Structure 1
């Protein structure tokens, strides 16, 4: 089992939680991004840097995921592809994605994208709160124990 991170949009505070969890559980952690990231000195943590472009990082992650791996992402289409490959998926806010609910999330995402394309201002997600960070850490611990 490995931990994969869609790192281009992953908050620094979440990456820090992941760095500590990787060391504590001795689980390899791979961050995929289109730019260099600051990483701790660790034999367990590495980065795969990809070219800039639409879905390049996502495609790289999907190509390398194995059943049972854990992916950290807030990207709903990427989460769906990872679930199809047998990975477990967690958002940086601590929400676990699962095969039973991912289709509804895809539908809502597409609906919101249609609204934005038609000029409706939908706003973005709220800032990451301390409760979100705690929920992420708790869910990550549960996934790592399974």
Structure 2
């Protein structure tokens, strides 16, 4: 018979690393908590060398990195992504937490509206509407991300 601890997967931080502005911050938080962090991308990038830090470069189509992240999701996974459709897939795969690189959480309650808004904006752009892009990434965004990630991991450690 196995113990309950053996059946529970460890906390794992998964980062959609292509164009992610908080890779260093994710490493910092993961190492502080002693958890594994896996960066998944379609292209090479430099990252800290540590046994808890893993980089997976996924060849193939545009969605290959997203598919790999969803494969890695467990009930103890914290996922960082700006991709709303990937966030939705991770929530459906029962990730413990999903957040953007600004620390904004994606939840089962909020993801439907985020997907709908994304679809409306895509339709408007396809129709020729001139839309502004997202606001530039700021120090406040970085700070919110650090706080949100730390809080998500602390909650998982306390409440499983």
TM-score range (shorter-chain normalised) is over 0.9
Mapping for residues 1-146 of structure 1, pairs under 5 Å: 1-11=11-21, 14-87=22-95, 88-146=97-155
Distance 1:112 1:76 in 2: 13
Cα RMSD (Å) of the superposition?
Answer: 0.9
Distance 1:46 1:78 in 2: 20
Larger Rg: 2
Distance 1:135 1:41 in 2: 25
Runs of 4+ aligned structure 1 residues displaced above 4 Å come to none
Give the deviation of 1:52 after TM superposition: 4.5
What TM-score comes out, normalization by structure 2 length? 0.87
Distance 1:142 1:85 in 2: 21
Unmatched segments (≥5 aa) in structure 2: 1-10, 156-160
Unmatched segments (≥5 aa) in structure 1: none
Distance 1:53 1:127 in 2: 28
Give the deviation of 1:56 after TM superposition: 1.1
SS of corresponding position for 2:43: coil
Contact 2:24 2:47 in 1 (8 A): no
Aligned length: 144
